[in-house]
Structure 1
Amino acid sequence: MVLGVAAAIVAPCPSAHADVALMAGQRARPLNGIFNTVPVLHSNQPEEVEGPGILISTAPGVSYAAENGMALRNAEYTFNGEFGIHMHHKYFPTYRSQIRPGERRTELTLGLILINPGQRAVQISFERGAVRNSFEAPYLANNLMGVKPLGVRPWNTGPGDATAVQMLRGKLDQRLSDQVTIPPRSRIVLFHTQLPALGIANALLRGRSTGPFQMAVVAASEPRSDADLVAVLDQRRLAPGRVYLNRIAEIQNRRIFSRVGGVALGDSYEAQLKHDLRRDGPLHVPLTSTQRHHFGTRDIQVNQLATRMIDSSLDNVGTYGVRFDIDLNLQGSGPYELVLSHPVPGGNSPPFTAFRGSMQVRTPEGLQEIHVGLRSGESLSLAQLNLNPGVPNPVRVSLVYPADATPGHLLSVVPASQLARVQQSQALQAAARAAAPATPPVARPATAPQPRAPQPRAPQPRSPQPPVLPRPAAPVVREPSPRPTTVLRATPSATSPNSRTPSPAVSQSLLDRYQEALDAQRKMMRDLMQR
């Protein structure tokens, strides 16, 4: 019975270790899906670019590293027919530590160049895609967390999500041409976009060619024309920022994960699975699984690279830009929750934003488009499923995996009571952590104050701030071109009143202790600022 399986979560099997609390005492099933074989140019290495130069080229030959002058073989590949493009870079100049809020920041221009080495013109048509930068789609690290309806206009949560939404909906950006022609033995700039210092640029496209061609991505400083972008390619100098050049052996031995610079085979992953919830209990399946996070299934959802730069990862671990379509055929009765989870970070690492992107959930009741902001260690309900007994209940989950997310997620179908138990436990733990700082402010006045110089930038001891429960609103500070990791305002977690799934009640005594700690901290702040 489902209730019996749900109750098992209270006393997990001692021999089983779960990275996700929702799965404790239960097992995951492999999806065993397949990738298609469409070649995709991935320009994500180096992710953090320090200056102008070539980022990747699939033309034959070598380019020279800015760091040491080493000749590196290009990721040689000739496209012909269906193809995809994924580009994701940040501009981190060497003087980045000196950049101050409000200052005008330098910019690089990223350009994608199409190369026709043959004697005949090649026509290229585009089906869907978009290009976005931080000016158009600012990345605010803790903005729009939880689960929300996507609406007609998608949430502005960074270039990676903005382009993924267009791909998910099958739309082509109006600013992009749906067809271009590359003359014989020539090169053309397909698009270019600005990359601000400490900012991001991202592109995702899907197209088809009538003949063979190659591609390259370059970064230029203040180019005046397309010819200046092509000139960067002719210089055969790689852009600086290739921090993995001295760690090639570790990449080969899979001891570290570099970014992807090469051509991956596959821009789509499809899987189908039947599951009887009443007979077999709750369903857990890996989604974007990796060697590290496959939840005991050994189902690794990573596609291979046909060619790569020597400092690239060995395969397409990030799966950025890959469309996932998961078809679940469910047997059961009554309400269940469709849940997305991410493992708890290892060691003492603090929680981080593990996913922030857009998803579609299609059931017999219709299509839901949602925006999901998920922190590591969280489990969020994507949708409630109302299952009809005695008949198949189809559910399709679709997403285009956005850049700046961390793969290795768990997709689950569980009773609402099972999700509520986990969220209640997490809420109680968060409240207990929030109450912990109450002791230091009370004990401090017992010690005679010592003379010291004013320290306006350090108004209180380093003690953890309450991360989850509501706190008074703070003024929002906006910069001309937002940094990729700037936190503008506090946002509700999955257990807050504003999230999709209502939070279980927290004991009043814990809330009182938290309020006492918060009041003490406010008093300290006022006293220190008046000195």
Structure 2
Amino acid sequence: MLQRKQIPSYILSILAIGLTGGLYFGCAKQDTNSPVTAQTPPPPSYQEIVQPAEVRPLPGQLDTVPMFNSNSPEWVKTPGILLSTFPGNGKKVPSAHLNFPFQGRFDVFVHHQTHTPKDLQTFYLGVILHNPTSTPVTVNVLQAASYLTQDAPYIKLPTYVENPNNTVYAGPGDRAGTDVLQGKRQANFPDKIVIPPNSSRMLMNLPTPVRNLEKPINGRSAIIRLQSSGKVYAASLTMFAPKDAAGKDRAPTLEEWQNLLDTSGLAMPRDKAPSPPEQKGGQLIYGRVAGVASGSLWKAQITDSAGSKDLTLPQPEKPISYPISTLRGGQLGTGQNQTAKMLVRYPDTAYEAHGNYAVEYNLTLPLYNPTNQQKTVTLTLETPLKEDRLSKAGLRFRKPSQDFPFFRGTVRLSYKDEAGKPVTRYVHLWHKTGQVLEPLLTLTMPANSRNNLRVDLIYPPDSTPPQVLTLKTLK
């Protein structure tokens, strides 16, 4: 396991750009009356590199599995409701409830942080499920993982590290996503929950402590896949740890969570409101997500065309790229917005689930070498400079790259090696925006051969879109 040294989250919040920085927070307006503004700006201190590539829209589409997406407010200071899909009737603050029932397959994604809470108290994060029907409902927990920032700190890592046992990670969402990708269910989650008629049960009831940390900052991420036999409502909530008879922290009870749900409003402080979809020009603010998004899986067979069964190797020096997690303002010339749409949301939160956090991409590339010569092909998952329309004849990168990591997560690769033996690898990626990367995978393909390459990833909550999957044939 790699040596770890925690970087405080508050520093990362200051450094962060993209979704959590330059596109999320406002920029200071320049004073045009100041004589300082008359100075000539310095030339760029980097070399821009344009990678000629045919950028194609990613085939396939999101499924319709709803995702309970609780990510606003990101920084929690007060107890309250984070996200409730319960009906508002009978509740003290009806506007805090979105009235959206789940049934069958649905996912839960939760990510919240706290910084120096009052008296350094421990916040608990709870997810409650309610059966409003007159018959018992069984909720099967298919996969589930939750981690604290202190258990998966945001650290700098090498660009590529083999990660078969999920011992390499840089953030709680990164670590939780790899667990779920590998089909795991943590021991503190049951395999199923049986909810009696007109009753509630806790899916999650976990602490986010800050006391005794070097900096009183911590957070928790969770990704959970569920299958319900009947209608259920869900809510994520936060409260300070109650005290036991000895004055020590204890986990809140179901009744305490239920009382908070019935009587509280939304947790504070609220995040910055997003730019409306109809906005033309000006600063684009995505906001944070709190609601139910439509889609948890993007499955695609990437071929030459809709009627083809093969993906023919590109001509040398003419790579092809397929964007991952495109969004408004970052479609890389494809005109494709892959972002999950919101089925319900709070008015001051994101209009779309930008970034597709916790969404799985399941991509198959049926590679075909139609020539009479052996060919070497490379595959790279990389982050070009973000553009909606391409300003140059290809994707833009730079040396040196920008400082902040834009992708930190694990990718599963499945293919046949040169001996024809099936191979499955988990590789952790940590790279920056605009970084020129060595290939993630290099394959040698004999003349007139095929190799069914699969690329699977759960889009890491600690990353910033969009990325591209680039296929290149070497000379």
Paired residue type of 2:113: K
Q: Distance in 1 between matches of 2:222 and 2:274?
A: 27
Change in Cα spacing, 1:343 to 1:252, as seen in structure 2 (3 Å) is same
Q: Among residues 224, 230, 237, which one is paired with 1:205 in the alignment?
A: 224
Query: Counting strand residues as a fraction of each chain, which structure ranks higher?
Result: 2
Q: Structure 2 counterpart of 1:372, which letter?
A: L
Counterpart of 1:123 (choices 138, 156, 163) is 138
Q: How far off its partner does 1:105 sit? A: 4.4
Amino acid at match of 1:232: L
Letter in 2 for 1:237: G
Distance 2:359 2:63 in 1: 10
1:106 Cα deviation (Å)? 3.4
| Deviations 1:284-342 (CA, angstroms, capped at 9, x unpaired) | 11111122222211122112111111122111112111100111122334222211211
Name the SS for the 1:351 alignment partner: coil
The answer on 1:410 being equivalent to 2:468 is yes
The AA in structure 2 aligned to 1:212 is K
Alignment of 1:73-84 (within 5 A): 73-84=96-107
C-alpha separation between the residues in 2 aligned to 1:229 and 1:23? 54
Give 1:308's aligned amino acid. Answer: R
1:34 aligns to what?
Answer: 61
Partner of 1:259: 288
In the alignment, which residue of structure 2 is the partner of 1:436? none
Matched, 1:273 2:302: yes
Work out the CA distance in 1 between the residues paired with 2:277 and 2:327.
Answer: 16
Length-normalised TM-score, structure 2: 0.74
Q: Cα–Cα, structure 1 residues 253 and 181, in superposed 2: closer, same or farther, change >3 Å? A: farther
**Higher-helix-fraction structure:** 1
Q: Is the 8 A contact 2:271 2:287 kept in 1?
A: no
Do residues 307 (structure 1) and 344 (structure 2) align? yes
Q: Counterpart of 1:374 in structure 2: which amino acid?
A: H
Letter in 2 for 1:377: G
Tell me the CA shift for residue 71 of structure 1.
Answer: 6.7
* Aligned counterpart, 2:123: 108
Runs of 5+ unmatched residues, structure 2: 1-46, 210-215, 243-249, 304-310, 388-397, 418-422
Cα distance in 1 for partners of 2:407, 2:122 equals 27
Structure 1 partner of 2:451: 393
Q: Which runs of 5+ in 1 are unaligned?
A: 1-19, 96-103, 418-531
1:369-518 superposed matches below 5 A = 369-380=426-437, 381-415=439-473
Counterpart of 1:90 (choices 90, 107, 113) is: 113
SS in structure 2 at match of 1:213: strand
Task: Name the aligned partner's letter for residue 128 of structure 2.
Answer: I
Q: CA RMSD in A?
A: 2.8
Map of 2:7 onto structure 1: none
Render the CA deviation track for 1:74-133: whole Å, top value 9, x for unaligned: 2221011111111011113477xxxxxxxx943210000111122221111111121111
**1:109-161 C-alpha deviation (Å, 9 max, x unpaired):** 000011112222111111112111124x232232x231010032431422101
Superposition misfits of 4+ residues, deviation over 6 angstroms: 345-349
Matched, 1:316 2:353: yes
Inter-partner Cα distance in structure 1 for 2:472 and 2:315: 13
2:82 corresponds, among 45, 55, 59, to: 55
Change (3 A) 1:383 1:290: same
1:377-419 CA distance string (max 9 Å, x none): 11332111222321232211110111121010011112458xx
**Residue 231 (structure 1) shift:** 2.2
| Residue 240 in structure 1 maps to residue 255 in structure 2 | no
Residue deviations 1:445-478 (CA, integer Å, cap 9, x gap): xxxxxxxxxxxxxxxxxxxxxxxxxxxxxxxxxx
**Separation (CA, whole Å) in 2 of partners of 1:121 and 1:368:** 41
Q: Write the distance in 2 (CA, Å) between the matches of 1:284 and 1:270.
A: 17
TM-score (norm 1): 0.67
Q: Which residue matches 1:329?
A: 366
Amino acid at match of 2:159: G
Q: Structure 2: which amino acid aligns with 1:343?
A: P
Q: Displacement of 1:48 after TM fit?
A: 1.4
Percent identity between matched residues is 27
* Contact map agreement 1:23 1:284 (CA 8 A) in 2: no
One-letter amino acid of the counterpart of residue 402, structure 1: P
**Distance change >3 Å, CA 55–CA 199, structure 1 → 2:** same
Code of the aligned partner of 1:358: T
Aligned partners of 1:40 and 1:250: how far apart in 2?
A: 22
